[in-house]
Structure 1
């Protein structure tokens, strides 16, 4: 499950290679039936959603109506592309497994801008992100950060990581039931966690989770207000020498306590539409997508 910044939800299923878009009430807005597996990079810009297929060796972009608007074929120009990252509407970063290189490619004018040696194992790759001359690699059990000169800047264990999400200069990792933020000084910091959740995600306004076949939304502004209200109380109860700023790892706990912000989707939408969405999401979870 992925959520865009307008509250729409997207479900990709490996079982039949379908990619479906729903509104926040569970009403289907569009659907694509693909012929090979694809990885959905991000839905933050619903006007241009990038999808990469290792099998087909191509990347395609779809619009808000789930119509294909562009397709980029890698087979004729490169070796074997293991992972691709769309930096913007004209540049891609490609991990070429055959040459062990990281390639910066302008697909608008079909030009290779740069090519960097990048001799890492590509076997357990989950996601790739490049930002401000740093290369973020997510594997099944680790997150690693490199410079473009292939210098390892950071490494940490991270179980069940699914994909990266970038919000301005903040790099997030979405896992099975948690969302973590990369901090150059602190390492990986949990900003949301629910061990009972089947799937979690976030957009610019809310955290989303599927738990016990129900969809929950948590408002980020209300979470911030709760933290600000709790800070003075904490300072009064704690001696000055022991006073510490509230840890970001407690955000997930505070979210659970904010009952007024928890909205069960079956209270907001007809049973048929939202139940279908939850059934689709449960099917996705059972296949490990």
Structure 2
């Protein structure tokens, strides 16, 4: 039964693919990462030549950057201002909707060695400084350090960082960890092949190689999309994307959600399903008693005592 449920879910996900997006195999070949913004534009990063290319939903190239060193793309949710961080160059740059550089920040002159940088908005950055083991809140618009917090963690296998509502989300090659700004560990869970965080309002997501998970405070990590055959996956506000076999597939969020709900319903144990047969049988075996017709044991005993007393008084009168 469990195998049939998994098979059903897999087939449903395949059927729910809206179409194969028109990006030819040459554009997807050797792609190291792929991101999708909320307008349906796609961004392909290739580690072989450090190229970062933007396409529209029809596969037409909008812009392209040829980078000299590896860069990590934070997110493309705001296509007007896309942040990229390079540990090798110790800098962060921002590009516009046409992939033109609009700003560059050099960390070498002001800080030690920055292992990870997270752009919170268009004014502030959060920086993990390996040389001082500190988390730095930095306003790059006016070049001032707002706060600095001790943060003595291992930086060796760090993949990504996100700061939201006074919580620091750390993604490593094998774990996700959540800390307070006081360096108190609030949560930890194993997570293989995680690549980056994605925040949608209050929802914190982790994009991995072939699945996407959501952090739920009451439950921990919950998988919301998975394709075992995919090499790269991503999502925007409307769809999931998966590259497999050098083809790009588009999945509807609603259809995937319905498939997951159906899978959970069918996987529900039969013992948890309510049954009304047993209570009915009990009611038939033991009918309700009429307390008005059948006196209780105490009442019967009192009647016997009263009758005995009356009989005694009558006998005494006859004797006298």
Task: Give the TM bin, normalised by the shorter chain.
Answer: 0.7 to 0.9
Q: CA deviation at 1:224?
A: 4.6
- Offset of 1:29 from its aligned partner? 0.9
1:39 to 57, 72, 80: 72
Aligned Cα RMSD in Å? 2.0
The answer to whether the Cα contact below 8 Å between 2:225 and 2:256 also exists between their aligned partners in 1 is no
1:187 is aligned to 2:220: yes
Tell me what 1:264 maps to: none
What's the CA shift for 1:220? 1.6
SS of the residue aligned with 1:29? Answer: strand
**TM-score, length of structure 2 as denominator length:** 0.71
Distance 1:194 1:225 in 2: 16
Which moved further from structure 2: 116-125 or 24-33?
A: 24-33
2:145 aligned with 1:112? yes
Q: Distance in 2 between matches of 1:86 and 1:185?
A: 27
1:175 equivalent in alignment to 2:208: yes
1:163 Cα offset (Å)? 0.5
* Corresponding residue pairs, total: 240
Secondary structure, counterpart of 2:237 in structure 1: coil
Structure 1 residue 213, shift from structure 2 partner: 2.0
Unmatched 5+ residue regions in structure 1? 244-289
In 1, the alpha carbon distance for the partners of 2:141 and 2:43 equals 27
Deviation of 1:225 after TM superposition, in Å, equals: 5.8
Which residue is equivalent to 1:242? 273
Is 1:97 aligned to 2:97, yes or no?
Answer: no
Deviation at 1:165, TM superposition (A): 0.4
Q: Residue 24 of structure 1: CA displacement?
A: 1.6
The residue aligned with 1:14 is 47
Q: Is the 8 A contact 2:233 2:242 kept in 1?
A: yes
Distance in 2 (alpha carbons) for counterparts of 1:190 and 1:139: 18
Show CA shifts across 1:223-254 (max 9, x none): 456677x59xx59x9879438xxxxxxxxxxx
Of 133, 145, 170 in structure 2, the residue corresponding to residue 137 of structure 1 is: 170
Aligned to 1:268: none
Q: 2:87 aligns with which of 30, 48, 54?
A: 54
Are 1:197 and 2:230 counterparts? yes
- CA distance in structure 1 between the partners assigned to 2:115 and 2:273 by the alignment: 49
When Rg is computed on C-alpha atoms for both structures, the one with the higher figure is 2
User: Which secondary structure state, in structure 2, belongs to the residue aligned with residue 166 of structure 1?
Assistant: strand
Deviations 1:81-113 (A, max 9, x none): 000000001000000000000000010111111
CA distance in structure 2 between the aligned counterparts of 1:150 and 1:223, rounded to whole angstroms: 37
| Distance in structure 1 (CA, Å) of the matches to 2:137 and 2:150 | 12
SS state at 2:254 partner: helix
